[in-house]
Structure formats: C-alpha cells, structure tokens
Amino acid sequence: MSDLSDDPVIQGLEVYLVGGAVRDELLGRPVADRDWVVVGATPEQMTQRGFRPVGADFPVFLHPDSHEEYALARTERKTRAGHQGFEFYAAPEVTLEQDLVRRDFTINAMARSPEGQIIDPFQGQQHLRQGVLEPVSQAFTEDPLRVVRAARFLAQIPELHESEHFHQYLPGMRDELATLSVERLWQEAYKAFSGQPGRFFQALARWDCWQALNLEPPQMTQITPGNSPENALAQWLWQTRFDAQDWLTQWRAPKRWQALHQDLANWDGAMAFACLKRAGALKNTPRSQRLLSALMAAQAIDEHATRRALAAAMGVRREDVDPNLTGPALGQALKRLQQDAFERAFGPGL
C-alpha cells in the first residue's frame, strides 16, 4: 500500500484499507474492489481535498482520481426494521475499532495500515485459518441481509463454515428476511456464482430461510468451478433450463437472464436455425450472442460450424428472391432461403 505515500490527496490523512480487500489479500485471492476508512477527518476536509460525496446522509466519498470509496470512520444505530434501517454517526473522534466492530464477520473486520500492519481486533486472521465464519458482535443481528451474505461467502470461499454463534443469532433474524428487496437478493445470488453457487442455495435451505424469504429454492446442480459469474450462471441455466424460470422471476433477475433461460429451455438442435433466428442471431443481437455463448460452453453446438452457417444465412439478400414476391410471401421466401443456406453451410449432423 505504499502507493498512498505518493498521493497528495491522501497525505496527512489517517487511512486504512478495510474489509474484503484485506481478507482476500490474506487468502491470496484477487482483490476486485478496495474500500478505505479515514479516521479523524470531517466531511469538509474530505471535500476540500477533492473527494466527491456519494450521498447526503452517508459519510462515503469517491477519490477524485481513482474513484475508490473512502468512508469516514463511523458508528451506526438501528432505528427500524430492514437492511437500511440505520442511523450513522461519523465524527473525528470515532476510532478505527469502533468502525470495525459494526461489521458483519471477523474476517471482514480487519484493516491494513499504509505501512502494511494488520489491525485485527476480533481474531479475523485466526478465523480465516480455521475456516470459520464468525459474527463480530451482537450487532450482527441488526441487519438481515447479513444472513444472505453469509451464504454468499460460503459459496465464494468454500473452505468456510459458519460458527455456532451464527446459528444462535439466526432465529431472531429470520423474521426480518422478508424486508429485503428481491433486487438485493439477486445481487447476492449472482455474486455466489463466482464460487460454488450450490453452497449458497443449500445454506439458505439449511438455515430454514426460504419460507421467511417468501421464495422457492431453485433446482440444485453442479457447475464447473473457476468460471466467471456470467459463464457459471449460463452453465447453471443450461443444466436447469426446464426448472429455473420461477426462481429467476421470483428473484427478479435482469431480463437478459430470463430471456436466456427461455431461449435455452426452448432450444432444439433439430430446429437450430429457427431457435437462433428467434433470438436474433441473424441480426447479431446481444441476446443471440448470450445464447450462442451458453450453447458453446455447454458443447450443445459446434462453434465453427454454427458461425459458418449463420454467416451463410446472413448472406442471403433480397435480390436472391423472386422479384415478384411482396409482403408475407417475400418474408417466407427469404426465411426459406436463409434456412437452406444455414443447413448447407452447417454440413452433416445438423
């Protein structure tokens, strides 16, 4: 973290790298996002240095150059039910430990100083070595989203298992799970696909959360580890293509995923041209590209033959059709020629 020493925007501030970035560094995992905590500063000092506030009521600022998030050390108090029912207090007198104690799990409640010192007041390093997902404090129970995040961590870091303290906190938290937005649930589920998503869904079942969430669990399946979330989810949808639609709808997955699932569920290799055309492959739409990528990853089609056949179909022009045809008859004739070109170019075995 020596890069901070050369940053004039940071010089003079007491800054720490915190949370998942520290955890992932210790695990030797790639660090996707870095979050920082600033101790002893005021919002006015941050804006004078060029930091841009994220919101009026939340003490988080974006660095003017890197655009990384820098949050003032804060405490919080629960004021109402739900994931967002908190009141924050940020002031120069709030200490780093006071900020860390409000976090979810000990493995996420560590900080690293610019000199490389690990600040670990809650035994996060020990719990990482033991593979234990341990809540930091009783404050864990105040945010129902932390139950779903716990399931996501079990998927992303398969070496982890939840602690007994976690199980003790569950009964009082289930009632608030229904306050979570399905959009936020989808975000956690999607992130789980960067690891072993089955562990995410199995954990929620093991903790009796499905009824409290007012959701039905999806079908379980195994996918190849190490994929990107997008590729892993596409693989999952191929394997569960006859069962997953209700889950995607309930969790309000983005429409592109619901469309992909529908295209996979309707896939028929014997009618490949019709299926690809329906998805927009002759116009090279994003929807058709997602379908082709999923089918290729599942080895349901031959990539080179399919691309060659699509190129042949897209090469059919109006002048290839009887000039006397118009309207629906013209459209039908074009479609027949496109399909013929597709099938000839694809070769044997279509």
Query: Looking at the predicted structure, is the pLDDT value of residue 65 above 60?
Result: yes
Instruction: Please state which of the four CATH numbers 3.40.1530.20, 3.10.180.10, 3.30.460.10, 3.40.50.150 is assigned to the domain occupying 1-124.
Output: 3.30.460.10
pLDDT at 243 over 90: no
What are the CA-CA distances from residue 223 to residues 158, 186, 231, 234, 235 (Å)? 14, 19, 10, 10, 7
Structure token digits, residue 340: 């013929």
pLDDT value of position 79: 56
- Whether the predicted pLDDT of 49 surpasses 90: yes
pLDDT recorded at residue 245: 62
The model's confidence at residue 80, banded by pLDDT at 50, 70 and 90, is: low
Model confidence pLDDT, tens digit, residues 313-347:
999 998 888 888 889 999 899 999 999 999 999 87
pLDDT at 24 over 90: yes
pLDDT band for position 18 (50/70/90)? very high
Q: What is the pLDDT of residues 162-189, one digit of tens each?
A: 999 999 999 989 989 999 998 899 999 9
Q: Give Cα separations from 168 to 25, 134, 140, 147 (angstroms).
A: 30, 11, 11, 12
pLDDT attached to residue 1 = 44
pLDDT at 228: 86
pLDDT at residue 56 is higher than 80: no
Amino acid at 20: G
Predicted confidence (pLDDT) per residue in 125-145, tens digit: 999 999 999 999 998 998 999
Average pLDDT score over the chain:
90
Q: In the structure, what pLDDT confidence band is assigned to residue 2 with cuts at 50, 70 and 90?
A: very low
pTM of the model: 0.86
pLDDT at 94 over 90: yes
Query: What's the mean pLDDT in 34-53?
Result: 94
Q: Work out the percent of the chain whose per-residue pLDDT is above 70.
A: 93
pLDDT at residue 85 is higher than 80: no
The one-letter code for the residue type at 122 is F
pLDDT tens digits, residue range 187-215? 999 999 999 999 999 999 999 999 999 88
Average pLDDT over residues 69-85: 73
**pLDDT for the residue numbered 113:** 95
The yes-or-no verdict on residue 70 having pLDDT over 60 is yes
**Residues of the chain with pLDDT > 90: what percent?**
71
